[in-house]
Structure 1
Amino acid sequence: MTMQHESPLAVDTREAARMLGISPQHVWSLTGRRNNTLASLASTMRRRGMPAEAIEAALLQENALRCDPPLPDDEVRRIARSVARYEPSADRAAPAWQAFPPDALPKQIRRFVTAGAEAIGCDPAYLAVSSLVACAFAIGRSRCLRLKTRWREYPVLWAALVGESGTQKSPAMDLALGPLRKRQEEAFAEYEKQRKTYEEEVRQAKREKSRRSRGSASRPAEPRPPVCTRYLVSDTTCEALAPILVDNPRGLLLARDELAGWIRSQNEYKRHRGSDTANWLSTWQGGSWMIDRKGAGPLHIPEACVSILGGIQPEVLRAALGREHMHDGMAARLLLAYPPPRTRQWTEEDIPSSVLDEMDDLIGRLLALQPNEGGNGPEPVELTLSPEAKAAWREFYNRHNLLIADAHEPLRSALSKLEAYGARFALVLALCRDAAATEVAAPDVEAAARLVDWFADEARRVYAAIFPAGDGDAVAGKQAKLVDFIKRRGGAVTLRDVYTGCRWLDPQTAESALRELVAAG
């Protein structure tokens, strides 16, 4: 075939082969690795600046000519769209804001999020993320997803709702955690009754012991103190949480309006007593805790599971995480939701009681799930992937790891943790769909992959907005933050706005930076 008869699409794929630095024959031979190779081609073409339409056309041609058997065209287009979301050759470039995908949620949560966001006036992302964390906690250590013999994922989610003051982060959290707060109050009331009964039994036992002390061999049984069922906690130190976890092996949900206190407490505690950070990092994957308590002996928790949910302002997040937690893996474990601020207007919309009851019933069903009884205490019931779900997982895993390979730190670490979150989302979605499920189905994995894609975009956006220059060029970083500040205020600001709203700029630098931006258009 002569060059003049070659289609432009064929030139695109040959150019992609040249970009990859390998011969076209190797690219053309796709048997057994179709998704992986097509995604790699798309990623390379995008990094070199090819537009989405050219990438899609090139992939469709190569799929038809070289894949054996060809993938469905819709699947090829999805690969092209997924890769085309990212800016050419810009690991730190932030994609445009994408609304949270409500159709990735189970129907009960979807209705709850839609109605709740309308009533509160918040972005649906805040309520969606909060609801996912609440459901994940409710499942707790009663269930896990086994991907391989030694790879199990627990439903542990850590999420930060990022936004300036007044963006309705706290009301969204309160609404999503309502069913848990109600049950926590009921548990406290029941514990108080049991505590009073216990204290009376102790007094009776002492009187009985006194009467029988002379010449009696039998002794009354010692009353057993009651255990308080805990769902929600706010204390952030491991020493305070350890006894509560011992009594509640299913797990806990650390919920704080201001998440910065949890992040900062690790540094403060470390200086005086030892590292809380290591225990928290272990908790994210259901690892063990060993807490040495002064005068009280050690506490060992074989599988500590604590989900985390809190709000935080962008500048506070930047200061709280700092260099240390960007590199120790703490920041990478946080699922971030940072929607653009919206102007609130009064609405008569309210949440139908049927929607609230539906969400309450869902949380109740998940809390009712029971683990197996093992030789050393409760053991989670293992769910596995159905054959169709295994195929969907393989596709997600390969595609997501191509994104990881193309990323740089600290984004690379965040994307790596999202791999595990993909399995955790799939587990949560499966059990929300059917609390009696023994397998995760393909639609659960596909919906989980959509959630991972969304959180990957958010990580990219937040890192670019809050950590725009990494550890390098501080001047460029400040200017990028200023650009983000202006965009968030509709694209127009006064010098006074910058003085009062950009505390990281001194007045002289602020004026100079504004002039440079005006000159640059």
Structure 2
Amino acid sequence: MTKMEALAALDFADLMPDERRAALSKATLTGDTWPNPSPLPTGLPPVPELDPAILPDELRAWLTDIADRFSAPIDYVAAAAMVAIGSVIGRRIAIRPQTQTDWTEVCNLWGCIVGPPGALKSPVVREVLGPLRLLEQQAAEEHAEAMQAYNFAEQLYKIKTEVATGGVRKALDPKNAKPGDLEAAKARLEAITQPTPPAAVRYITSDATVEKLGEICKDNPEGLLVHRDELLSMFSDLDREEKATARGFFLTGWSGQERYTFDRIGRGTVAVEAVNISVFGTTQPTRVTKYVRESLRLRDDGMVQRLQILVWPDIGKEWVEVDRYPNSEAKKAAFGCFNRLHAIDAVAVGAEIDAYAGPNAVPFLRFDAEAQLLFSQYRVELEAKVRDEDMPSEISAHLSKFRGLIPRLALICHLANGGSGPVNAHATKMALGWSKYLEGHMRRVYASVGGDAADVARKILRRINKGDLSQGFSARELKRHHWSGLTGERVDIGLEMLVEYEWLRIRTIETGGRPSSIFHINPKAFEQNG
């Protein structure tokens, strides 16, 4: 007789309260009635390596140089660069992924890199965002000069208004007024135009209230990047009930094309004709696992699925010091690419304008014939995956966002490569390469949720093996021991997995008050785990 069979044969009257005894007397605890438990998930699934060939031509040498000098995964620099270059294009030019419909995608992206502490995520991202920060600095200097001219014009406006107002008063004096004086004075007053303060052109921001971000977006309809070093802290903050407005604004900004209006007492009405927000940041494995698990359980509103440039590469065990100057030619070409795209002329690259799309219409390109065939074939395969009944719902939801992601990436690669006219097959193949790469990393992120639960489940099984937990134990009983890794909600997550994989069975006990639950241990599970 095995140890578990012996446990099954015990008289539990001496071990458990009366309400458990009644339930267990009805339970068949012999191994013959139990199935063999399923193996628990082990480790993280492998992810594809990034092929530098999918990086835009004018950025590739610069990005590989950064990754090499920092001895960091090229995935980090690639993800940051694609979001950054997409934020520069924003709504300046869009893509229509079909030959005749008005389905339109603009170039903002949301992304995040996942890595352990000390993996040089932040320094690498800081280096990649250098071109954006330079554009931001130049724009700030130009705005300061424009503000000086505006302040002078505003003072002149006040003086002219005072003089013209004095003329109106004089014309209204019946003792001194002559015929026609009033009309002439009114004309002079009406001819004075109040100067308009110059809009502050922005490219990147890190910490702004939603109202302030709305004002920035109003002045920058082409779009801007919101960069947060620890991105999921911002996402967790947006999940709070009192931040519902901010959350809604960010969700609007993800599509990059929708209007948003703030109505506030004191601030009045701020109408943002088009909210285009790119988002990028970093996080750690434990934080992304916790956030995804809670997001899917408590909200599941698609927020996490909007992080489409989500990469979690393996970190090399050996760090190699590289002490050399940056590749100046590659850096010059990359900064030139950013400069060219922020000032891109839509007409010059052959973009069309839909006459029926209204005053905020975005110029657009379509695929050329070969690229269109590639994308259409990809779309057929994608829709089959999304509709697969065996596909987990969260993965189907994430993949469904690839409908718009791949055209966006194709357009970004096309323009960053210096292309004009219809988006070509070369850029489209690069985007399709991104699709395979990103799908693998996305699956690792969702698998990590189960992997974390499996780690807790194994800790619970070890306690069973040691005899610390007896047949018919409760979650509360397990938690009160405060064993390492077995506290709070982690216990519930591990127990749920053990039940799902048939290592345990749960039984609800009616006590006359609030029902309680106990867990039966599969004898076969103990034999496999022992």
Please, what TM-score do these two structures have when normalized by structure 1?
Answer: 0.70
Residue correspondence of structure 1 range 103-114 to structure 2 within 5 A = 103-114=53-64
Alignment correspondent of 1:166: 118
1:134 counterpart (78, 84, 104): 84
Alignment correspondent of 1:316: 287
Does the C-alpha gap of structure 1 residues 387 and 163 become closer, same or farther in structure 2, counting only changes over 3 Å?
A: same
Would you say 1:402 and 2:402 are equivalent positions? no
Does the C-alpha gap of structure 1 residues 463 and 381 become closer, same or farther in structure 2, counting only changes over 3 Å?
A: same
Does the C-alpha gap of structure 1 residues 384 and 206 become closer, same or farther in structure 2, counting only changes over 3 Å?
A: same
Conserved? CA contact 2:259–2:272, under 8 Å: yes
Does the C-alpha gap of structure 1 residues 93 and 121 become closer, same or farther in structure 2, counting only changes over 3 Å?
A: closer
2:403 counterpart (407, 419, 426): 419
Would you say 1:301 and 2:272 are equivalent positions? yes
1:429 counterpart (397, 403, 413): 413
1:284 counterpart (254, 259, 271): 254
1:366 counterpart (341, 354, 357): 341
Q: Which has the higher contact order (CA 8 A, sep 6+)?
A: 2
Matches of 1:503 and 1:351, distance apart in 2: 46
Residue correspondence of structure 1 range 198-277 to structure 2 within 5 A = 198-216=150-168, 217=185, 218-219=188-189, 220-235=192-207, 237-268=209-240, 270-271=241-242, 274-277=244-247
Question: Shift in Å at residue 95 of structure 1?
Answer: 3.6
Question: Shift in Å at residue 194 of structure 1?
Answer: 2.0
Question: Shift in Å at residue 520 of structure 1?
Answer: 6.0
Q: Which amino acid aligns with 1:332?
A: Q
State the superposition RMSD in angstroms.
3.3
Fraction of identical pairs, as percent:
26
Matches of 2:74 and 2:333, distance apart in 1: 18
Gaps of 5+ in 2: 1-38, 169-184, 348-352, 461-482, 496-524
Gaps of 5+ in 1: 1-88, 483-501
Would you say 1:338 and 2:312 are equivalent positions? yes
SS at match of 1:468: helix
Deviation readout 1:382-422 (Å, 9 max, x if unpaired):
11111111111122112223333252121221111123211
Alignment correspondent of 1:379: 361
Q: Which amino acid aligns with 1:143?
A: I
Does the C-alpha gap of structure 1 residues 107 and 504 become closer, same or farther in structure 2, counting only changes over 3 Å?
A: farther
Matches of 2:340 and 2:393, distance apart in 1: 40
Matches of 1:331 and 1:407, distance apart in 2: 17
Matches of 2:446 and 2:281, distance apart in 1: 18
Deviation readout 1:453-507 (Å, 9 max, x if unpaired):
1100001011112x116xxxx853535899xxxxxxxxxxxxxxxxxxx984469
SS at match of 1:253: strand
Deviates more, 1:356-365 or 1:209-218: 209-218
Question: Shift in Å at residue 309 of structure 1?
Answer: 0.9
Alignment correspondent of 2:102: 150
Question: Shift in Å at residue 260 of structure 1?
Answer: 2.2
SS at match of 2:393: coil
2:137 counterpart (185, 193, 197): 185
Conserved? CA contact 2:253–2:275, under 8 Å: yes
Alignment correspondent of 2:302: 329
Question: Shift in Å at residue 182 of structure 1?
Answer: 0.6
Residue correspondence of structure 1 range 71-86 to structure 2 within 5 A = none
Does the C-alpha gap of structure 1 residues 350 and 338 become closer, same or farther in structure 2, counting only changes over 3 Å?
A: farther
Question: Shift in Å at residue 255 of structure 1?
Answer: 1.1
SS at match of 2:197: coil
Question: Shift in Å at residue 359 of structure 1?
Answer: 0.2
Residue correspondence of structure 1 range 431-510 to structure 2 within 5 A = 431-435=415-419, 437-465=420-448, 467-468=449-450, 476=454, 478-479=456-457, 504-505=485-486
Matches of 1:480 and 1:356, distance apart in 2: 49
Higher-Rg member (1/2): 2
SS at match of 1:97: coil
Q: Which amino acid aligns with 1:225?
A: P
Question: Shift in Å at residue 328 of structure 1?
Answer: 0.5
Does the C-alpha gap of structure 1 residues 197 and 98 become closer, same or farther in structure 2, counting only changes over 3 Å?
A: same
Question: Shift in Å at residue 91 of structure 1?
Answer: 11
Alignment correspondent of 1:54: none
Alignment correspondent of 1:67: none
Matches of 1:475 and 1:163, distance apart in 2: 19
Q: Which amino acid aligns with 2:417?
A: R
Matches of 1:145 and 1:205, distance apart in 2: 44
Question: Shift in Å at residue 102 of structure 1?
Answer: 1.0
Equivalenced residues, count: 401
Deviation readout 1:240-280 (Å, 9 max, x if unpaired):
21111111111111111111232123234x426x4333332
SS at match of 1:222: coil
Q: Which amino acid aligns with 1:192?
A: A
Deviation readout 1:26-69 (Å, 9 max, x if unpaired):
xxxxxxxxxxxxxxxxxxxxxxxxxxxxxxxxxxxxxxxxxxxx
Deviation readout 1:217-237 (Å, 9 max, x if unpaired):
223432221111111012354
Matches of 1:234 and 1:346, distance apart in 2: 31
Matches of 1:452 and 1:90, distance apart in 2: 29
SS at match of 1:290: strand
Matches of 2:153 and 2:286, distance apart in 1: 54
Question: Shift in Å at residue 434 of structure 1?
Answer: 2.3
